[in-house]
Amino acid sequence: MKILIVEDDIILGELLQECLQRLEHEWVRVCHTGVEACTVIDEEAFDCAFVDLRLPDTDGLRLLVSIKKKDPGLPVVMMSGYPTMDHTIDAMRKGASDFLTKPFTLQDVALTLQRVTKEKALLLQNLSLQLECQARKELEKVNRELESKISEQAKLFHISKEIDEIRSSEDLYPCIVQLASTLESVDKVSFFIVPQDKGSLLRMASCGWSPEESRPQRIMLDGDRMREVLGNGRSHVLIRTDEIQEGYAPVDPGMDRMLSCWPLRIRGEPFGILMAYHKADYGALSSGETRLFDFLIRKASLAVENMALYESLISNFYAILKSLVNALEAKDLYTGKHSERVTLYATEVARKLGCTGAQIESVQTIGYLHDIGKIGVQDSILNKPGSLTREEYEVVKKHPVIGESIVSELGLSPEERSIIRHHHERWDGGGYPDGLVAEGIPLLARIVSVVDAFDAMTSKRAYREAMSEEESIAELERNRGKQFDPSALDAFVELVKKNRARG
């Protein structure tokens, strides 16, 4: 062992050194002052120190404290010729390992060293366990942080994915409230649109509310609060239930709950507010949940902006296509407004046949464009006063395919595209462009086919007079199950008859 002796009595110091060397501890260093001992400890590592309680330049207990600061694991044995109980207790409190009373024998020194060695081994073991324990705690903490980050990233990904899949604003609002209600600290969520006058808020979607709970369609906020919530400065504002007029409140009597209001802005202008009730035992939101809400709101804002942009582009495109149809029909003195009439009647037939809302909407939008492909057919053929040659007819037959390619960038559904491509198919398979048969022809195309034929027959042409409604219907009936779908035809004929009866 490497041992340090701090003893001002030179003879005693040498005697102890000799004792220790006899016990086969070759490396024994003797210092006579506290200052010298501190310097030596800074330079060398020892396994044990013997320190006299009284030193010329310092108190032995002070030196003990200094040694323990420098090397907490170094066992220190205090030595004194006149130890008192107070000295002994004080020394032990300050970290001394043992107390040796002068004069001592070789055996006393040997026993003390044995105890100190054992104590040091235990101390080292204890220290090692403490370090291991601390390391484990650190690891557990890092793991918890990592798990929380992974969970947050997964939630961010989920929010992002869900909103990216939304295609219309009607689906977006329920999606926002549903996503917000999955966050841990909130349970009832609603989304409101901010009208132009900013006087009240209009509820668009809610999640987590029971039927008994008060949820009016319109709510009011105090003017100052409204300005605060809609202001540009903060991501969200906390308000109390009683600050909302019109009793927008959950049923939990006696519970003073908080709401967080998250404004959704489009290009800096307030567009809507997401209101989330905090669960009864949750006060403020955690920083992690605040980040998730912020992300959800930012993502929803972008989605609304993109949808508005897309819808505006599409509606502009429709407007252009409609003007083209109008221009096309304006050239024909006889069939003007053909597409408008076909759309009106086809919509009625679709309703009568029990089509879905989406199908009816498709007929209303795309019915108008069913002949858009005629843009690609020469005017000389379209407006030819007499009957067409075989070659000319082949050119006209291309208009459904040309029409479909014109609208190919509009993102139409297959059923919508079918109105343009297949409105000249025949029930018996003899139509064009694909020769589809019976129910192989999409329903909306079968409906437009009947109405289109009827409108053509009842319109005057350069080479013939307009047929009467009775004659036209008779002609349609003759082609029932040949050219036309019987059920679409029956529905249409019934409609025409009803309209005529009404006068």
Bridge partners for 51 per DSSP: 6, 78
Nearer to Fe ion among residue 159 and residue 448 (C-beta): 448
Residue 467: CB atoms within 10 A of its CB come to 18
Residue 246 gets the label, from left (phi > 0), alpha (psi -120 to 50) or beta, of left
In the bound state with Fe ion, the residue whose beta carbon lies nearer, of 155 and 422, is 422
- With CB under 5 A, what is the number of residues at the site for Fe ion? 1
Q: Report the site for Fe ion in 275-334 (rule: CB under 5 A).
A: none
Binding segment for Fe ion (CB under 5 A), chosen from 290-298, 368-376, 468-476, 478-486, is 368-376
How far CA 12 is from CA of 8, 29, 111, 366, 502, in Å, comes to: 8, 13, 19, 113, 133
Indicate the residue among 277 and 454 with the shorter CB distance to Fe ion. Answer: 454
**Distance, CA of 76 to CA of 100 (rounded, Å):** 11
For residues 215 and 423, which CB has a smaller minimum distance to Fe ion in the complex?
423
Cα–Cα distance, 450 to 127 (Å, whole number): 93
Closest to Fe ion by CB, 52 vs 371, is 371
Rounded least distance, CB 452 to Fe ion, Å: 6
Quick one: DSSP state of residue 239? E
**Closest distance of CB 220 from Fe ion, Å:** 54
**425 forms part of the interface with Fe ion (CB under 5 A):** no
Our CA angle for 468, 474, 480, nearest 5°, is 140
**Which one of the spans 1-9, 226-234, 363-371, 476-484 is the region binding Fe ion (CB under 5 A)?**
363-371
Stretch in the footprint of Fe ion (CB under 5 A) among 89-97, 128-136, 366-374, 403-411? 366-374
> Minimum distance between the CB of residue 423 and Fe ion, rounded to whole angstroms?
6
Minimum CB separation of residue 374 from Fe ion in Å reads 7
Q: Determine the interface stretch with Fe ion among 167-175, 364-372, 402-410, 488-496 (rule: CB under 5 A).
A: 364-372
CB of 162 to Fe ion, least distance (A): 41
Residue at token pair 């959950």:
250
Q: Which of 41, 48, 50, 42 is nearest to 5 (CA)?
A: 50
Residue 371 binding Fe ion, by CB under 5 A: yes
Token pair belonging to 47: 């396994």
Return the number of the residue (6 or 420) whose C-beta is nearest Fe ion: 420
| Cβ-contact 299, 159 below 8 angstroms | yes
Q: Binding of Fe ion at residue 455 (CB under 5 A)?
A: no
Which of 371/404 has CB closer to Fe ion?
A: 371
Per CB under 5 A, the segment of 88-96, 130-138, 330-338, 369-377 that binds Fe ion is 369-377
Closest approach, Cβ 475 to Fe ion, in A, equals 17
Choose between 187 and 425: whose C-beta lies nearer to Fe ion. 425
Q: How far is CA 308 from CA 266, 290, 302, 484, in A?
A: 10, 27, 10, 40
- What's the min distance (Å) between Cβ of 437 and Fe ion? 19
Shorter beta-carbon distance to Fe ion: residue 187 or 371: 371
Instruction: Considering only the stretches 112-120, 225-233, 370-378, 458-466, report the one whose residues sit in contact with Fe ion under the rule CB under 5 A.
Output: 370-378
What distance in Å separates the CA atoms of residue 161 and residue 148, rounded to the nearest whole number?
20
Distance in Å, CB of 260 to Fe ion, minimum: 56
Cα separation, 177 vs 205, in Å, equals: 7
Of 80 and 335, CB closest to Fe ion: 335
Structure tokens at 416: 């919508």
Nearest one of 317, 377, 355, 309 to 448, comparing CA atoms: 355
Minimum Å distance from CB 371 to Fe ion?
4
Q: How far is the CB of 333 from Fe ion (least distance, A)?
A: 18
Instruction: Give residue number: closest CB to Fe ion.
Output: 371
**DSSP letter string, 309-363:** HHHHHHHHHHHHHHHHHHHHHHH-TTTTTHHHHHHHHHHHHHHHTT--HHHHHHH
Neighbour tally for 26: CB within 10 Å: 9
Given the rule CB under 5 A, which residues bind Fe ion? 371
